Amino acid sequence: MDPSSTSESPSSAGAGGNEAFQLLSDETRIGILRVLWDAHDPAQETPVRFADLRERLGVEDPGRLNYHLNKLLDRFVRRTDAGYELMDSGKRVVRMLLSGTAIDNPEIDPVAVDISCWYCGGGVEWSYRDGWRYLECTSCDARCVESFPPGVISKNEFPPSGLRDRTPNEINEADRIWGAHRRASVMDGVCPECAGDMPVTAIDICEDHRPDWDEYQFCENCGSIFRVLVSHVCEGCKYRWQMPTLFYPSRQPALIAFFYEHGVEFDLATHEQRTLLLDFEEDLVSMDPLRIRISIPLENEMLQFTYDERMELVKESRRERQP
């Protein structure tokens, strides 16, 4: 069996929203999860017997412990002949707590990192506050969306646990990799938060798009520097992700081959590669049915991808650029 697979059925993998909140509202139940987590060995089964669990928690009344265990059974904890152990859903709860998402609120002042602004090429500073990572250009006041302060070229959720024992450049590198994989998951229709279905729910098109590309300022009519924005919303946990269309060609092998043939080892995960895609051209081929064509120029050639209303590829072509 694939070690990454699980035998838990969807009905036993977790509790419903309101029920889960109620189950985890008691300190004894959280304590049970933490004790089972401390005993957990990823390489082998490590169940904890009732007596050991009671001793580690310091619970004198066995009836009280048994009551709380029964509340967690088949939702976050399983009982075996050898004792109690966490289900995958229970492990996810503890990982969320350990990530610092619910318990930490660190702040890190701006510090220089080894990347360049993908708009102007200037230096970039990294900072962290309120659970968000900020990348800010020190040379320009680029503002690609209205909600960003001037100069902030990127803003992304990042768990506090990713800050531990890392230098600013190491944190930025971890954030880059973490964000790239999450974005790829969204484009593939799988929620990076809960693994639920995450289809395209809206494609917003600015009818009178007038950004200032010379100063990298957003369009006053839509609040974005990008004319078309695609939204995905998870059908399970309601997690929402919005991004411009320029990212979608990165999922196509033809794009990787196109750059490679021109001497560029393309990997969208790197910040530097984003500058290559910013030269893209975006055209509405038709509105009914919706067809969006993304053209990526490089030297004397143009690679084109056409997508439908679900951002699924319907056509791919390559041609010489017009002089």
Under 8 Å between Cβ of 290 and 314: no
User: What CATH number does residue 31 fall under?
Assistant: 1.10.10
Residue 29 lies in a domain: yes
CA distances from 68 to 34, 40, 64, 65, 303 (A): 14, 20, 7, 5, 60
The average pLDDT across 117-145 equals 93
Share of the chain above pLDDT 70, in %: 91
β pairing state of 152-157 and 200-205: unpaired
Residue 112 lies in a domain: no
Residue 108 lies in a domain: no
Residue 166 lies in a domain: no
Respond yes or no on whether the N-terminal peptide bond of residue 297 is cis (omega within 30° of 0).
no
Residue type, 66: N
Q: Hey, how many other C-beta atoms are within 10 angstroms of the C-beta on 179?
A: 17
What would the pLDDT profile of 276-286 be if each residue is shown by its tens digit?
888 899 999 99
Residue 32 lies in a domain: yes
CA distances from 231 to 91, 187, 249, 311 (A): 30, 10, 16, 10
Boundary residue ending a domain (98, 125, 146) = 98
Report helix, strand or coil for 289.
Answer: coil
The residue with tokens 């893209």 is 280
Distance from C-alpha of 297 to C-alpha of 303, rounded to nearest angstrom: 6
What would the pLDDT profile of 107-128 be if each residue is shown by its tens digit?
889 999 988 999 999 999 999 9
Residue type, 252: Q
Contacts of 209 (CB under 8 A, 6+ apart): 219, 221, 222, 227
**Residue 19: band (very low, low, confident or very high) from pLDDT cuts 50, 70, 90:** low
Residue 307 lies in a domain: yes
What would the pLDDT profile of 27-43 be if each residue is shown by its tens digit?
899 899 999 999 988 87
Q: How many domains does the chain have?
A: 2
Boundary residue ending a domain (69, 98, 127) = 98
Domain membership of residue 256 as a residue range: 248-320
CA distances from 207 to 222, 246, 270, 284 (A): 9, 18, 32, 11
Distance from C-alpha of 182 to C-alpha of 154, rounded to nearest angstrom: 15
Boundary residue ending a domain (50, 83, 98) = 98
Residue 121 lies in a domain: no
What phi, psi does 8 have (nearest 5°)? -70, 135
Residue 255 lies in a domain: yes
Query: What pLDDT was estimated at residue 277?
Result: 84
Instruction: Give me the residues paired with residue 295 across strands.
Output: 281, 304
Mean pLDDT, the chain, as a whole number? 87
User: What H or E segment, with its residue span, contains residue 278?
Assistant: none
